[in-house]
Structure 1
Amino acid sequence: MADANYADWSRDQLLERVRELEGQIKSQTSKSEPPPPATTAISTPTPTPSATTITPPPPPTTTKPKSSKNKLPKAPHNLPANKAKNAKPSKLDPSKYTTRPIALKIAYLGRRYGGFEYQPPSSVATTTSSNTTTNNTTANATATPATIEEALWRALVRSCLIWPEDPARVDFTPWEYSKCGRTDKGVSAFGQVVGITVRSNRPLPRQEKQPESTEGGEKVEGDGDVKMAEPGDQNDSEEKPTAKPPWDPIADEINYPRVLNKLLPPDIRVLAWAPTLPANFSARFSCWERQYRYFFTQPAFPPLPAFMEEDGSNITQGGSSSSSAEDTKGVKAGWLDIDAMRHAAKMFEGVHDFRNFCKLDGAKQVASYKRRVFEADVVEVEDTGSALPYLGQPEFQPLGTDPKGVHPKVYYLHVRGSAFLWHQIRHMVAILFLIGQGLEPPSLVADLLDIDKTPRKPNYAMADEVPLVLWDCIFPRAAQTTESQEDDDQKKAVDMQGTDMHDPNATVDTNLQDALDWVWLGEDTPAFLHGGGGSGLVDSLWTTWREHKMDEVLANRLLDTVSRRADLRRQLDKAGTGTGDASGSKAARGVQAKRSKGGQMVFEGGDGARAAGVYVPVMKKQLLATPQEVDDRWAQSKGFESAEVMRRTENWRGVIRASKLSK
């Protein structure tokens, strides 16, 4: 058609050709914009015998019509503010994004949470908004979540890193989610690890397009339609596009910690993320070492001055019948024998059956209570900076101590192990506190670890939960896991040669190093760590620390002021003999009688001591059911004859679930 000789055409042929071209022009124009309000007629010249050429119809005008009817509608700028704010955001289209598996290292202060793990049937009110703000106060205006996982879920959904069908229903299953530790109510963590698949900035793979040009520089559009090539089209087609640099999986990726920290409560923070994970990574079963720290003060609770103690009534005496009296020694009430605690802690190291150092639960159906502890020690924390000078006075000090030392001091029990039972650390600490107070001998640990001697756990109280911290989780290399369909709790990490970590005869490396390549917040952009103005991670944590520090400082100054203001000797002398010896005064005897009436003060890790009355040694306390008895009772409550019969039933957990649904 491009080379047609119109000179030989008849008038009717030319008119027909003009109508055909007009139709093509209108069709192409309607695809790009609405038709103009008025149709411009194309004048067709009358051919003459001498004419050798014909003027072709003029091309459609490129000037946009001024009429408002031909313009695409635009969003009005004068909408009410409330309508713009309440506009429903468009739902994320997963087909436009790639995903990737990552690991997150999370820290949180657990005092105000009900544990890490989400507990149904509570619901989460998730609010998604396109106008996301960086202000923590605004981002966390909703009610405090009951668990850490609920808060994490909210942040993941609001940031569109995951896009569940029902945002109000916490269900991590579609996102290949795993967690390393399931900390209990009130317990904190500084190195919790979760694995999850999230949205990525990685570009989608490009789909190669079919070439649209022909040899003559014309572009074919549709069946038989022809469009003349624009000037410069051929030159443009010959130019090669500038090659983009390859996509960097870290520098070009979403800064996951920073995005999530904007939406998490201030006492929950993402510290780092791992971009490269080994095959079949599981935050739970790929972890070969978990580290816990339990913090406490020395003294553990306020001691009485020496002149208010009568005949050693404020000196604890060991009373366990499991050992001779030489194993115990008197300790001034309030103070702890750190050396005795350290000696006892070392007995936990190695592979032992810890059934007497945990809480039994028949629903778990634990097959073995053997666990390997790599290290257990009592360590002093340096530079905590919270002195109470009155504790340095000789009458408040234990005999044989240096009154020049600064008190109170802060210590922690440091425990490293492959895995731990339910409440195991809190039970271990509870026994160490009894030993530190002189109420039990260090040999009590060995007695409780000997299941032949102590097959049933004595009913003693475990330590308080708030001072406990999941300090870190170590992933030295990819771990193989043995999976049991009947009981997920029986999965055990083994090394590449198949060595069971809990086998006492196995040779296991206890000096493990984390092999995950963590990208810590601030390594990519230092301002994200020290941002100034509250925008950096350090700034956020500083705000949280200073809030608690000011509470501590004020409480510290109040306690120290009150403890040193009154002259107790002067008041007691008036009621006594006047010789300056206040210990025999009537008032002093009244205080001693009150303390004796309350019985033995026992420290269990909380904010103060508990009056326990007459102390009963651990080995003389009521004995609880054995693990086998607990398992059998639970199995019988589910309709099985015994735990052994239940375990022999194929997919017995599925059978129990089906039975519940049928009722």
Structure 2
Amino acid sequence: MAANVDYGKWSKDSLIERLVQLEKELQARPAPPAAPVEGNAASEDAQAALKKRKEKPKMDPTTKSFRFIALRLAYLGRNYGGFEYSASGVLPSIEEELFKALTKTCLIFPEDERAVDFGNCEYSKCGRTDRGVSAFGQVIALQVRSAKPTSASRNKRKKVVEQTQGAEAQAEATQTESEPMETDTPEPPPFDPIRDEIDYPKVLNRVLPPDIRILGWCPSPPPDFSARFSCRERQYRYFFTQPAFSPSLPSPGQKNVGWLDIDAMRDAAKRYEGEHDFRNFCKIDPAKNITNFKRGILEATIEEVPDMGSAMQYLSCPPDLSATESGQLPKVYCFKVRGTAFLWHQIRNMVSILFLVGQGLEKPDLVDKLLDIEKNPRRPVYVMADEVPLVLWDCLFTDENGAELPWIHVEDSIDPAKPNTAFGTTEGLWKLWREVKMDEILANRLLNLVAQPLNYDALPFKEGPPSVKLFEGGNSGRQAGKHVPVMKMALMETPEEQSNKFAQRRGFASAEDRDQQRYAKKAQANAAE
């Protein structure tokens, strides 16, 4: 291997694989010979052993044809460090697993298979989900190997057919010279870009982890298609339960501990709709110097998720919520939001405000106040919601005529005579669900065995300072002492102030000065070309 390999770009698994390889090579080296004859014999034995280890022949990409496609995929993000690959990441990324699967199946041919780099295949992705966030409708686009024969392979095949037919005709002519020879070579049937193509979902699902599945592929994205910039609409859903965490009796600072006012949350969510400046609902990255924080929200609402109940007999609603929360408890709800694009951590910050409203600690008009950047240009320092319940639900695209992109879903290729043609998609996900379902059932039975119903007629504990238990999307509430209203919390610097400070730490007078110098360098480079 070359001495100038950049191991910094290698993935964690590739580095481990390299270490194992080096250890094996070290073990295969003979010990220092005690005698010249014995040493030479040991060295020859070691060399013979190495020769027996034959490497798998690699596919030659120059003999293959390629096509540009889009892939729709789903993944459960709890075990991953986000979608985007980072060499310094502790957990594996979704992109890293995709790269390994695409390389292993010879659908892409990177210069270095150990370095996660999509640079040579026109790669683009729709969303960059954070650590722990899942997706059921993520989309990527890239150039992949196709089963379509190249002109060279077609000519080679035609030549073989002609030679075979010529030999057969010559053999027949020796037996009966009176019969005429047929010299016409039949043309092979035309290549069907769907029926004759590689079953991309099936091939990739064979090698991907069970919590990452390819759901379908688009055979004909429009010209200049980008999974990021061609996306017309992105949909997210954030799931939570009612009650949000194990409820308790009212405290001096909180009335219905553990319960959420769904109607108030719906009121607040509705205020997100429309085009607004969401700088108070995102995390600022000063390195990118983003100046436009306006985003369009097409829909924002709270919906009950049906058929998700796992009954807890000990639960009963507080008297003032019994009219709206009748039936089996706990219930499952989700914050459903549709928009054209979103800022970094925007959804989780929006949800955090909704939870404060739902717990009765803030009024729904808090959303209006935070969206009014003229009066409130600085974001209060509030905690954003947990990442695990968030799902990138869907990404919508249209072609040049405005019609929805045609997707070939994995279930479309299922052959009734071969139930395993959709390898791992249904059966594998069933195993995942069954495993966590058993955990849920056992925890449910144990909780019902131990827990006792709350007596809301009992007087609340009134001694001591007011204290609240905050719900932030996790599995339990967080003791937070006395609640400080969001509009009275400490304030962050404005995005402009953060960008200027970041630029000054790198030797520029301001963010504007940094951008001007960058543009000047680019202009000089373009002029030199």
The TM-score normalised by the length of structure 2 is 0.80
The letter of the residue matching 1:623 is L
Q: Which amino acid aligns with 1:287?
A: C
Alignment correspondent of 1:295 = 239
Please state how far the C-alpha of 1:442 moved relative to its aligned partner. Answer: 0.4
Partner of 2:451: 563
**2:93 pairs with 143, 147, 153, which one?**
147
1:416-475 deviation per Cα after TM superposition (whole angstroms, max 9, x unaligned): 001000000000000000001000000000000000110100000000000000000011
Aligned: 1:523 with 2:469: no
How has the CA–CA distance of structure 1 residues 403 and 438 changed in structure 2, closer, same or farther, with 3 Å as cutoff? closer
- Please state whether the residue corresponding to 2:138 is helix, strand or coil: strand
* Aligned equivalent of 1:382, options 306, 325, 332: 306
Aligned to 2:426: 538
**How far apart, in 2, do the equivalents of 1:632 and 1:184 lie?**
26
Of the three residues 213, 217, 225, the one matched with 1:281 is: 225
Please state if 1:372 is matched with 2:296.
yes
2:512 equivalent to 1:623? no
In the alignment, the residues of structure 2 paired with residue 444 and residue 632 of structure 1 have an alpha-carbon distance, to the nearest angstrom, of: 29
The change in CA–CA distance for 1:439 and 1:208 in structure 2 (over 3 A counts) is closer
Gaps of 5+ in 1: 1-81, 123-143, 213-218, 220-228, 317-330, 479-495, 497-512, 570-580, 656-663
Q: Which residue of 1 aligns with 2:280?
A: 356
CA distance in 2, matches of 1:652, 1:467: 45
Q: Does 1:647 align with 2:509?
A: no
Tell whether the 8 Å contact from 2:101 to 2:208 is kept in structure 1 after alignment.
Answer: yes
Residues 242, 331 of structure 2: 8 Å contact kept: yes
Counterpart of 2:113 in structure 1: which amino acid? P
SS in 1 for 2:353: helix
- C-alpha distance in 1 between matches for 2:83 and 2:244: 28
Q: Distance in 2 between matches of 1:604 and 1:424?
A: 15
> Structure 2: how far apart are the matches of 1:166 and 1:236?
57
Flag structure 2 segments of 5+ consecutive residues without an equivalent: 1-48, 160-165, 524-529
Q: After the TM superposition, which residues 425-504 of structure 1 pair with which residues of structure 2 at under 5 Å, given as runs?
A: 425-478=347-400
* Counterparts in 2 of 1:286 and 1:85: CA distance versus 1, 3 Å: farther
- Please give the per-residue CA displacement for 1:468-517, whole angstroms capped at 9, x wherever unaligned: 00000011234xxxxxxxxxxxxxxxxx9xxxxxxxxxxxxxxxx87111
Q: Match for residue 163 of structure 1?
A: 109
Q: Aligned partners of 1:335 and 1:281: how far apart in 2? A: 46
Residue in 2 aligned with 1:609?
477
**Counterparts of 2:515 and 2:298, CA distance in 1:** 31
Is 2:210–2:424's contact at 8 Å kept on the other side of the alignment?
A: no
Distance 1:420 1:514, change over 3 A: farther
Aligned partners of 1:529 and 1:537 also within 8 Å: no
Partners of 2:299 and 2:350 lie apart in 1 by: 13
Aligned equivalents of 2:215 and 2:487: distance in 1?
44
Contact 1:100 1:199 in 2 (8 A): yes
Greater radius of gyration (CA): 1
CA contact (8 A) 2:309 2:329 kept: no
Q: Against the structure 1 CA distance between its residues 452 and 205, is the aligned structure 2 distance closer, same or farther, given a 3 Å change threshold?
A: same
The number of residues matched between the two structures is 461
Aligned counterpart for 1:175 among listed residues 121, 139, 144: 121
- 1:65-104 to structure 2, matched below 5 A, reads 86-104=53-71
Alignment partner, residue 33 of structure 2:
none
Query: How far did 1:638 drift?
Result: 2.2
Distance 1:264 1:236 in 2: 56
Query: Structure 2 vs 1, CA of residues 517 and 402 (structure 1 numbering), >3 Å: closer, same or farther?
Result: closer
> In the alignment, is the contact (CA less than 8 A) between 2:284 and 2:495 conserved in 1?
yes
8 Å CA contact 1:103, 1:195 repeated in 2: yes
Distance 1:636 1:120 in 2: 27
Matches within 5 A, 1:188-337: 188-206=134-152, 232=173, 238-305=182-249, 309=250, 313=251, 316=254, 331-337=255-261
Deviation at 1:231, TM superposition (A): 6.7
Distance 2:142 2:149 in 1: 20
After superposition, the Cα gap between the structure-2 partners of 1:292 and 1:343, relative to the gap in structure 1 and judged at 3 Å, is same
Q: Matched residues in 2 for 1:239 and 1:435: separation?
A: 83
Question: Over residues 217-273 of structure 1, what are the superposed CA-to-partner deviations in whole Å (9 max), with x where a residue is unaligned?
Answer: xx9xxxxxxxxx877399896332333321111111111111111111110000000
Instruction: Find the aligned partners of 2:418 and 2:369 in 1 and give their Cα distance.
Output: 49
Identity score, percent: 51
The residue type equivalent to 1:648 in the other structure is Q
2:417 and 2:79 mapped to 1: Cα distance? 27
